[in-house]
A and B are shown apart, each in its own frame.
Chain A
């Protein structure tokens, strides 16, 4: 097989499981005429569940994108931004379930904040009867989604920012009297957003259809639509299976509707930006408030995530922690001892699956990029769309169908099947984090190497790959983080037999034992964090005598 065909093959690898799964899920919806849809319409929670899905998805995506742009506009290039950049990797590594559990530990009426402030400031001797978690408006869920999506959007923005040549644009804008923020919005944003559009769509889809976070933070009377679809899927009767399929169709339609709304907002925003540019307002006074707001929001969100994780760590070793004590009265390793027999094999399996899936994804991504470089291919917008397909089609819509197909082909229920399914989700992220550094390599280097007689293979192995050591390791860590955090694909393709840290953590979270949940969530977080740390440390060791390679 020639390398030239690899990009197409890879796209097929992405698209076929998604489309096949989609068909497998949607068929039952139309199995007996419109009965399933009539039953769906008869469910009294439908309007509210749909509104929740739309509302939490749109609000969290809009706020996360706004914060991301505010941080870039106000802080890019400043020392504060370097601190944020260093925090990105560990924040990205936090699996969604762990982030949600951490937030719940923090903000619940019996959570850490209330404990720290009670009774001296609040007068509470027992937890107040306040509806904070699972609030009917989905505010906790929205907050959790924002905290988790912001680092991802920032990372995506950073990887494409360099290509827009921001320093020169900002300098030009500044010399014309524009402020930092207005200069960023008018000169960089238009070019940047073209690159950021697909990641934003992926975030919107994910936020509208998330299951594990909604299970922990979201409303329950009724739950969000995607959670209700999963509830129906898990119910034993056949009619509820058809109902679930009909719900999945509606979910898909809702996502398409939200994407359309978003697209219209993009067009409106574009018109506004053009009007602003034409008006010539310099808006230099904007800088100070935007800067303050960005710093405040970034600190708050990062602080909440880290405090939530600290709360989990503390709970995992707490022996006796009654309400209104700010800290446990005594510590014990009992939870870790109880969990250890399950933790060890689950950790080993999680690592095996993540390494297999990430290595496969890395090989495919490098192969595609190398094919681009050698044969002068270019990734078309349509190809990018296909690459993003697994992130744009809601998981609850295509995974059940994929499970049925895999079951019929007897290809599920073992860790290899799970790893194969993970590749579909890991590859887009790996490709995205790798493509920019790869394409930014100076093409003249390869020309010089060819002029010296190097073969294409030698150029790849001895020149490109060493130059890309740091980005490849980062892509590997991103892939590991994605794979470790995957819940629904692991559950469905593993047939319940393949347990990972994430499936264990979510199963345990239904039981509410904070000590055990804390220990699993902590390990779930530790694995990707370790990979990110290696990605940072290894290049420093390998290139310790070649300082310019670290630049």
Chain B
């Protein structure tokens, strides 16, 4: 506890340049020289070739700018890296660990932070930190209602958007009720990834936002007594749509790319993604028909941030911080937002950028299917992580074991 308070103090100092600006620059310089020549193993989900290519590009930048080599360890699931660090701790390995950097958020972050498996706080100490739009995008410092406390650094914003084939769907449903009606009227043309998959559970939370009498309670941990009544409308909604889902709800796609593949194959007509730029990027890559468009629901859709964190026993924490800082670089952020590259939303405050950096973002062509930022609607905050755990466990009990 004491060490953490001290760390917070340090981070606070970093934010007041009058006090510590100079010493901090010197500290960063010494960190840079320690990082030079290091190889950073970034454990990141490897199921999307576009993201892999982007990380490879970041690696080139890190090499040429700072002499840091970046190796992506491609995971099938982020929990692989978490259990890896856990196994190392169980085996008593407190330094020289295999994982230097993890792409993380939500449940995994909560688990690692509470188990003391994270290095930090470090985020506020990064030179690019002042550019982050912590006011306009509170999700950059609050991860599933849990304050990040500088133990992870954001690198991309995401928001749930629905995708539909305008050649098949004339009027896209704008509310949850309309969505339910559309699904039952078009059997077999909608589905969602199987919880506990991240995107699948996000869909459950989105439905919960639309069916719960007081959605503000989602920011609190689950209240066992109130839970059954709060979630009854959600299960009723699912019971209603399941017979009309793809494969009558007897099978579900595994994750976001598998869901996207169904849309690309024409198996489904209406889909969703945690990335407003995904559809345009896929159209640009020739993987998706150019009749696909996007929409959000009235009242907003769930939004959150992707982070990077450093394990407590990372072999190369200096190099990892250099990468975390590089990910906040305006040039890198603008590239990530380019729909031809990733189409991720930036975490930076565009007003805080130097004119030449801001112009990088202004020059982006958002693409044929992407909604302009003002049409995206409000980004709803992620519920407390206990909701995710509880919802996915209940989903498995209700729907996950029946033929």
Residues of A within 8 A of B (CB): 44-45, 48, 109-110, 126-127, 129-131, 133-137, 219-222, 233-238, 241, 319-320, 322-323, 332, 334, 338-339, 341-342, 403-404, 407-408, 410, 413, 495-497, 499, 503-504, 506-508, 510-514, 516
Contacts and interface: CB of A to CB of B under 8 A. Distances in A.
Q: Which 6 A-B pairs have the closest CB atoms?
A: A511-B47, A129-B188, A45-B401, A512-B261, A511-B257, A136-B403
Nearest to A496: B73
B397 A497 contact: no
A110 B47 contact: no
Given A136-B251, A236-B86, 8 more contacts: A44-B396, A137-B403, A220-B252, A221-B194, A496-B81, A499-B73, A510-B254, A510-B257
A499 B254 CA distance: 22
Contact of B83 (A127, A236, A323, A507): A236
A162 B279 CA distance: 60
Contacts of A404: 87, 90-91
A513 B400 contact: no
Contacts of A507: 46-47, 74-76
A495 B265 contact: no
Interface string B234-263: 000000000000111011111101101100
B83 A110 contact: no
A110 B265 contact: yes
Contacts of A237: 111
A398 B140 CA distance: 41
Interface string B10-29: 00000000000000000000
Of listed A45, A320, A338, A510, residue having the most chain B CB within 10 A: A510
B286 A134 contact: no
A233 B248 CA distance: 30
Contact of A236 (B56, B79, B194, B267): B79
Contact of A508 (B49, B81, B98): B49
Contacts of B260: 512
Interface of B: 41, 43, 46-49, 52-53, 56, 71, 73-77, 79-84, 86-88, 90-93, 98, 107-108, 111-112, 187-188, 194, 246-248, 250-255, 257-258, 260-261, 265-267, 285-287, 289, 396-397, 399-403
Given A109-B267, A323-B266, A338-B53, A510 B255 contact: yes
B87 A322 contact: no
Of listed B46, B188, B260, residue having the most chain A CB within 10 A: B46
A44 B393 CA distance: 11
A326 B265 CA distance: 13
A241 B257 contact: no
A388 to B, nearest CB: 29
A135 B265 CA distance: 19
Given A220-B252, A507-B75, A408 B400 contact: no
18 contacts: A126-B267, A131-B248, A220-B194, A220-B252, A221-B252, A236-B108, A236-B111, A322-B289, A323-B266, A332-B286, A338-B49, A338-B53, A496-B80, A507-B74, A508-B47, A512-B254, A513-B257, A514-B261
A534 B289 CA distance: 44
B193 to A, nearest CB: 11
Contacts of B75: 496, 507
A510 B76 contact: yes
B83 A241 contact: yes
A156 B56 CA distance: 44
Contacts of A341: 56
Interface SS, A side: loop
A408 B90 CA distance: 9
Contact of B41 (A131, A497, A503): A497
Contacts of A510: 47, 76-77, 254-255, 257-258
A238 B86 contact: yes
A96 B223 CA distance: 46
Given A48-B401, A323-B266, A407-B87, A234 B77 contact: yes
A221 B250 contact: yes
A39 to B, nearest CB: 12
Contacts of A235: 79, 83
Given A222-B401, A510-B76, A319 B254 contact: no
A236 B107 contact: yes
Nearest to B402: A221
A342 B50 CA distance: 13
B318 to A, nearest CB: 19
Contacts of B289: 322
B87 A403 contact: yes
Given A220-B194, A236-B111, A408-B91, A512 B251 contact: no
Nearest to B246: A129
A17 B190 CA distance: 48
Given A45-B396, A510-B258, A221 B251 contact: yes
Contact of B251 (A48, A131, A408, A513): A131
A322 to B, nearest CB: 7
Contacts of A137: 403
A136 B266 contact: no
Given A45-B401, A241-B83, A508-B47, A513 B261 contact: yes
A507 B74 CA distance: 7
A499 B41 CA distance: 13
Nearest to A330: B286
B49 A339 contact: yes
Given A234-B77, A407-B91, A510-B76, A516 B82 contact: no
Contacts of A413: 98
Nearest to B51: A511
Contacts of A495: 84, 98
Nearest to A514: B261
A233 B83 contact: yes
Of listed B71, B91, B285, residue having the most chain A CB within 10 A: B91
A492 to B, nearest CB: 10
A236 B73 contact: no
A509 to B, nearest CB: 8
Nearest to A410: B93
A221 B401 contact: yes
A403 B98 CA distance: 14
Contacts of B402: 221
A239 B286 CA distance: 44
A530 to B, nearest CB: 25
